[in-house]
């Protein structure tokens, strides 16, 4: 049996009085595309910082590709590439210098240049290799950060909110590249606020809240847990008949979304609307998505 | 790419060599960093030292003879070289660390397999190089104006190395401790500056009252400067062997403290 890419055993982390993580257990297999979801303050970044050895656990242990992050930290860090959430950069260097130095910190020399060139090209940084990090736009800085995390060809790649504040074009370039890396055998761990991203990309998802994992399953199974669909009604000026209020999920600007547990509720909703003489301007039947699962587990909006 | 994924058991010795290559790269990066702004990090301290030389030698020439047969200008130069060397060794490690902490870019080093000892060695070596480079440059410029003997080059080299190592280490400690630029400035202005100015850069402590002579002997900077000066003139306020002992002991103590801080992850790894 192959070693898991990530093995998290009973991890606790306390910052003063704040219990950031309360006993997390999580195994991620090699080659997985794994999503870590949760609201701000759920403990996602704390967990990532622990994997990266940037902070020390209060209790428990983590192994990356079988290497303990404390006792065997050098091998653990060789196996891990982390894209931090913040747009941090070293203002003294241009993109290529920065990547050469970063590869050098991992003990890699000129033999690694071909790989660095490949990342530069894949991420669309070719025109910017001689540009100082300070002079890059936000999107370009983000690309450079991703390149920086990959210089040592880590088998496990962690992306902490990589698409926060990133435009659509870059998001597509990014995902195409990450998917390619995943196909080539890299394990990908992703945290994101964009649930639709996790839905389309991740095979498995962990949802976190208040330092605990509240759901851990394949994306398909999680979506299956909520068999219901959503009915979206556009009613214009009219208000929703009171009989339908218990089903109401959201409602603003005359657009109401009703949560259905069974399909025959559509008929019920329509008859109630007819009785109230409400004119339906538009109507859509939508599948439940990860956001619904997320909201049902993590709480109300 | 797949080779790396399957080859997960990297032999321990290979691991170590590559990690030392990493430390060497960090050292190179630190050199590169100050060299990029050499006008500020090398040229400007040289100019400052020359201004001191010009002003003090003009004001005091003919009034003061510290050592027999040594003109004041000549007496002043080793002190100025050492002062600049110490300040620049300190500035190199401290400003690099505090800046990368504030910018957040320190994370790129913390994510790598570089160990705390290697981290220490890389920052220290870069600080020593900057200190020596500034000191040597001042020497080269100064000998155009002043006839400066060299009696014991080994002592000169020993104190230049120990002094820059001591302040480089001090700089790492200060850089780890400080969270803001103004804390660093306070450190520089309230600790480093007074200790250097009151260490005998501009005078021999024998010209002081007995009380101030005693106080000066508690200042580690005094030993660095006196030992360094001994190398030039073959005379000093105290024996260079005593200075060597005091400076080495201070260096050992600070290095121990610094490594302890780094090992615990104080302010770097929460």
ipTM entry: 0.86
Q: Please, what's the b/e burial string for B17-56 (b: 16 or more CB within 10 A of its CB; e: otherwise)?
A: ebbbbbbbbbbbbbbebbeeeeeebbeebbeebeebbeeb
Residue B270 lies in a domain: no
Residue B112 lies in a domain: yes
CB contact under 8 A, B113 and A73: yes
In this prediction, residues A73-91 reach a mean pLDDT of: 93
What pLDDT, on a 0 to 100 scale, did the predictor assign at position A290?
Answer: 74
Residue B93 lies in a domain: yes
CB contact under 8 A, A153 and B100: no
CB contact under 8 A, A153 and B115: no
Please tell me which residue, B212 or B12, carries the higher pLDDT value. B212
Q: Which residues of B touch A (CB under 8 A)?
A: 1-2, 4-5, 8, 10, 15, 17-22, 24-26, 28-29, 32-33, 36-37, 100, 103-105, 107-115, 265, 269-270
User: What angle in degrees, to the nearest 10, is found between the helix axes of B240-264 and B153-177?
Assistant: 30
Residue ranges of A 170-199 with Cβ closer than 8 A to chain B: 184-186
Residue B81 lies in a domain: yes
Residue B203 lies in a domain: yes
Cβ-based neighbour number of residue B164 at 10 Å: 30
Strands A33-37 and A204-209: parallel
Query: Which residues in chain A have their CB less than 8 angstroms from residue B112's CB?
Result: 77, 102, 105-106
Query: CA B238, B254, B126: angle at the middle one, nearest 5?
Result: 95
Query: Across the interface, which of A53, A104, A153 has its CB nearest the CB of B22?
Result: A104
In which band, very low, low, confident or very high, does the pLDDT at B9 lie, cut at 50, 70 and 90? very low
The total number of structural domains that make up chain B: 1
The predicted model scores a pTM of 0.87
Q: Looking at CA atoms only, how far is residue A49 from chain B in angstroms? A: 9
Residue B242 lies in a domain: yes
Is residue A70 less than 8 Å (CB to CB) from chain B? no
The tens digit of pLDDT for each residue in A87-122 reads 999 988 999 999 999 999 999 988 899 999 999 999
CB contact under 8 A, B269 and A53: yes
What pLDDT, on a 0 to 100 scale, did the predictor assign at position A293?
Answer: 75
Query: CA B255, B171, B181: angle at the middle one, nearest 5?
Result: 145
In this prediction, residues B9-16 reach a mean pLDDT of: 48
Give residue B231's domain range: 3-264
Measured between CA atoms, the residue of chain B closest to residue A134 is B103
Is residue A94 less than 8 Å (CB to CB) from chain B? no
Across the A:B interface, residue pairs with CB atoms under 8 Å apart total: 109
The answer to whether the beta carbons of residues A290 and A207 sit under 8 Å apart is: no
CB contact under 8 A, A52 and B104: no
- Using DSSP's 3-state secondary structure scheme, residue B146 falls into coil
Query: Across the interface, which of A74, A82, A148 has its CB nearest the CB of B19?
Result: A74
Residue B230 lies in a domain: yes
Measured between CA atoms, the residue of chain B closest to residue A13 is B270
Residue B11 lies in a domain: yes
In this prediction, residues A161-188 reach a mean pLDDT of: 89
């Amino acid at each position: 049996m192959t070693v898991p890419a990530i093995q998290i055993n009973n991890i606790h982390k306390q910052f003063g009085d704040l219990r950031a993580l309360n006993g997390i257990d999580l195994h991620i297999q090699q080659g997985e595309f794994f999503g870590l979801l949760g609201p701000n303050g759920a403990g996602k970044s704390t967990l990532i910082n622990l994997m990266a050895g940037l902070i020390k656990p209060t209790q428990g242990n983590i192994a990356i590709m079988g290497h303990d992050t404390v006792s065997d930290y050098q091998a653990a860090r060789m196996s891990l590439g982390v894209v931090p959430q913040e747009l941090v950069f070293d203002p003294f260097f241009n993109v290529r210098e920065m990547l050469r130095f970063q590869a050098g910190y991992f003990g890699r020399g000129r033999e690694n240049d071909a790989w660095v060139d490949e990342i530069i090209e894949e991420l669309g940084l070719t025109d910017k290799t001689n540009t100082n990090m300070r002079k890059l736009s936000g999107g370009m800085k983000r690309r450079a950060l991703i390149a920086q995390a990959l210089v040592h060809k880590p088998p496990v790649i962690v992306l902490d909110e990589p698409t926060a504040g990133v435009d659509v074009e870059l998001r597509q370039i990014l995902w195409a590249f990450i998917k390619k890396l995943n196909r080539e055998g890299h394990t990908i761990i992703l945290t994101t606020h964009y649930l639709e991203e996790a839905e389309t990309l991740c095979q498995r998802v962990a949802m976190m809240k208040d330092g605990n994992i509240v759901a851990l399953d394949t994306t398909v199974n999680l979506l299956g847990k909520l068999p219901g669909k959503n009915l979206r009604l556009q009613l214009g000026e009219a208000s929703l008949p009171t009989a339908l209020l218990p089903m109401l999920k959201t409602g603003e600007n005359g657009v109401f979304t009703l949560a259905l547990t069974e399909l025959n509720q559509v008929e019920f909703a329509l008859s109630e609307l007819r009785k109230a003489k409400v004119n339906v301007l538009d109507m859509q039947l939508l599948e439940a998505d990860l956001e619904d699962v997320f909201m049902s587990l993590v709480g109300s909006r | 790419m797949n080779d790396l994924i399957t080859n997960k058991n990297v032999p321990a010795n290979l691991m170590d060599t590559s990690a030392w290559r990493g430390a060497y790269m960090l050292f190179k990066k630190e050199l590169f960093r100050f060299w990029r702004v050499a006008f500020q990090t090398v040229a400007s301290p040289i100019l400052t030292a020359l201004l001191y030389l010009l002003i003090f030698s003009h004001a005091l020439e003919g009034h003061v003879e510290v050592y027999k047969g040594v003109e004041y200008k000549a007496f002043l130069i080793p002190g100025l070289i050492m002062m600049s060397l110490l300040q620049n060794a300190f500035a190199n490690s401290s400003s690099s660390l505090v800046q990368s902490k504030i910018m957040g870019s320190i994370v790129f080093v913390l994510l790598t397999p570089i160990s705390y000892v290697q981290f220490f060695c890389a920052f220290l070596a870069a600080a020593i190089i900057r200190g020596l480079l500034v000191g040597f440059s001042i020497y080269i410029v100064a000998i155009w104006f002043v006839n400066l003997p060299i009696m014991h080059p080994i002592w000169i080299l020993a104190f230049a190395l120990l002094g820059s190592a001591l302040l480089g280490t001090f700089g790492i400690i200060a850089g780890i401790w400080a969270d803001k630029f103004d804390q660093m400035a306070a450190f520089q202005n309230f600790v480093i500056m007074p200790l250097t100015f009151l260490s005998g850069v501009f005078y021999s402590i024998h010209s002081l009252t007995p009380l101030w002579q005693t106080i000066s002997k508690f200042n580690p900077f005094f030993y660095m400067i006196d030992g360094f000066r001994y190398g030039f003139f073959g005379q000093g306020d105290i024996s260079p062997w005593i200075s060597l002992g005091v400076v080495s002991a201070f260096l050992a103590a600070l290095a121990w403290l610094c490594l302890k801080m780094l090992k615990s992850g104080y302010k770097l790894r929460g």
